Amino acid sequence: MHLTRPTVAKTDLDALAFNLNSARQFLGRETDVLAVVKANAYGHGAVECSRRLKAEGVKILAVAILEEAVELRRAGIEGEILILGGIWPEQAAAAIDNELTPVVCRIDSAEALDSLAASRNIRQKLHIKVDTGMGRIGVPYSEAGEFAAAIARLKNLEVEGLMTHFASADDLSQSDYTNFQIDRFGAAVELFANAGIRPAILDLANSPASVAFPRSRVGLVRLGGILYGLGGDILPDVPQPELRRVMSVTSEVGFLKKVSAGDSLGYGRTFVAERKSVIATVPIGYADGYPRALSNKGEMIVLGKKAPVVGRVSMDWTILDVTDIPNVEVGTKVTVIGSDGGETILAEDLAAATGTISYEITCGFGSRVARKFVPE
């Protein structure tokens, strides 16, 4: 008996640990790993993944926003948590109260942290992000010296780390630009040193750079997608660590019917049966993270065979043509992402079919999808 809808995303925590240790072996034991668990650990479950990563010896976790860090603290996650997206000045108290380490690229946020730390007679750790060419957030490289001098005047701050982010480390045709960013970062480190700031941590490499650009491994690398077994559409075509898939998504046939040639299915009647067909309806839709762009071109695995998506993916349901798959019944397992028999569907496959990346696919499976973590 189902007490919940049978659409489930399973996170294999042993596979997560395998990927971490495989990456460590590939990168070299002298390279420390910062584990990125932002966006609910790329959709895999931030609290549970963080617990396992900490158990595997990860010293620093990273999230995007303060709210994600507070969620981890409330779940009992200890140790250093880095807020990659920084904080607004008004969030300084929450950051200090929860013993969090913000990444800073705005002087007003640094000043708010310094003022509050002074009032409590403490020193607050932070990292500083320099924009060496990503063009998103970060202290502009041209202003790095000025910013360093301003930070040096704030006596209640401890600059633990200096970091940057690569724009195109996944694209080897743009290797010159990645190396340009690495060189710029080295120059920025010198500018901060000239201001008396010599951080213990230098942090350049994301997952693609850590694999493809050994000179970017300067002591700490930020691993995100690699940890979750993603990378088939992210990592460049170079030697890379062995990875295992961490997420699988399954459901069941919720409704089964026969239709005649000429019958139409779904919104807009975009599919019209050309033959007598057996149609299975599966309780997963775009509100759950299964992209509407897979309408009439996605596939799911039923009894070890791929069944095409027919008609438009709707908010709560997706329709499959199972005419050529014998013995399908209501309750038959359906694999959305994962393997069954000799067939496999990856997040990368869904991404390729919809013109996006695997990260967006796994992040898309939201709260309506039940969660299972193994081993329990």
Q: Which residues are known catalytic residues?
A: 38, 267
Q: Which residues contact 133 (CB under 8 A, 6 or more apart)?
A: 141, 167, 177, 180, 181, 184
Tokens of 231: 């990378």
**Residue 44 Rama label (left phi>0; alpha psi -120 to 50; beta):** alpha
Cβ–Cβ under 8 Å, residues 168 and 175: no
Task: In whole angstroms, give the CA distance from residue 168 to residue 333.
Answer: 40
Tallying the residues shown for the chain, one arrives at: 376
Distances (CA, A) of 243 to 17, 22, 197, 227: 10, 7, 38, 8
Q: Count other C-beta atoms under 10 Å from residue 304's C-beta.
A: 12
- Say how far apart CA 100 and CA 81 lie, in whole Å: 6
Contact between residue 353 and residue 345 where contact means Cβ atoms under 8 Å apart = no
Question: Is 47:76 a contact under the CB 8 Å cutoff?
Answer: no
CA distance 106 to 29: 34
**SS3 state at 109:** helix
Whole-angstrom Cα distance, residue 325 to residue 309? 14
